[in-house]
Amino acid sequence: MLELQNVGFRYGRGQDILREVSFRLQRGAFSFLTGPSGAGKTTLLRLLFLALRPTSGRIHLFGEDVTRLPRTALPPVRRRVGVVFQEFRLLDHLTTFDNVALPLRVQGQGPADYSRDVMDLLDWVGLKKQAHAYPPVLSGGEKQRAAIARAVIAKPELLLADEPTGNVDPVLARRLIHLFAELNRLGTTVLLATHDQGLFKQVRAPVLHLQDGTLRTL
């Protein structure tokens, strides 16, 4: 599903943030991405989400060399990828329901098409009672679960999560990691970036360690 070949990245003429990063994710895999703060985890995820282009190397996603695709061809590929951002990125003027439904609305679906699916998913992540609440009144854990629901509502083939447990307590962190494991069991390929090594005990999965711009498997 995903393969990086000697990928490097830097901003402008600055120092390399990533250097000759190579790895492969098989369809249906669950992997952790870890490393110290500033190691380049978020930059790597942005490359995988096609928000950035590598300075060098190749990225193959869903069988295509996406580094060679014109920008106009990227949106259909991006729609096959779900992203859980570290800072949630919920829209404060939309309810929890509408935030989660947003990817489907962007695809042109109407409420009659998605209402049941959105409510079922909110129930699954424990937010059914907060469906009509707005983000400012949600707790950090509720916002995180809403962000996860929004990322998976369109049934992405690949799910990228950037420190999804960084703003919650240990009990909720365990709940969230099992939620990701269940999504993976249902067929979604998951790459979860975290600095919390305690999560590795919750799910037995390969660990990719990023440090000083280079990647190795633990």
Q: pLDDT tens, 173-217?
A: 888 888 889 889 989 999 999 888 888 888 889 999 999 889 988
**126/18 same-domain check:** no
Q: 15-24: list long-range contacts, CB under 8 Å, 24+ apart.
A: 16/55, 16/213, 17/43, 17/213, 18/43, 18/44, 18/47, 18/54, 18/213, 18/214, 19/213, 19/214, 20/57, 20/214, 21/57, 21/210, 21/213, 21/214, 21/215, 22/57, 22/215, 23/208, 23/215, 23/217
pLDDT value at residue 67:
92
Note the pLDDT tens digit of each residue in 19-28. 999 999 999 9
User: pLDDT-based confidence at 55, cuts 50/70/90?
Assistant: very high
> Mean pLDDT in the chain?
90
The structure's pTM equals 0.89
Mean pLDDT in residue range 41-58: 93
Domain housing 54: 1-80+156-218
**115/179 same-domain check:** no
**146/209 same-domain check:** no
Q: Count other Cβ atoms within 10 Å, centred on residue 141.
A: 19
* Sign of the four-CA dihedral 38, 42, 48, 54: negative
Mean pLDDT in residue range 22-36: 93
**76/160 same-domain check:** yes
Domain boundary among 132, 155, 178: 155
pLDDT value at residue 212:
86
Please tell me the distance from the alpha carbon of residue 204 to that of residue 206, in angstroms, as a whole number.
Answer: 7
**55/163 same-domain check:** yes
Is the residue at 85 inside a domain? no
Mean pLDDT in residue range 86-100: 93
Distance of CA 115 to the CA centre of its chain: 23
pLDDT value at residue 183:
87
| Alpha helices (runs of H) in 57-169, residue ranges in sequence order | 74-78, 96-106, 111-124, 140-152
**66/1 same-domain check:** yes
pLDDT greater than 80 at residue 57: yes
Is the residue at 86 inside a domain? no
For residue 162, list its beta bridge partners: 193
Phi (first) and psi of residue 29, to 5 degrees:
-80, 160
pLDDT value at residue 191:
96
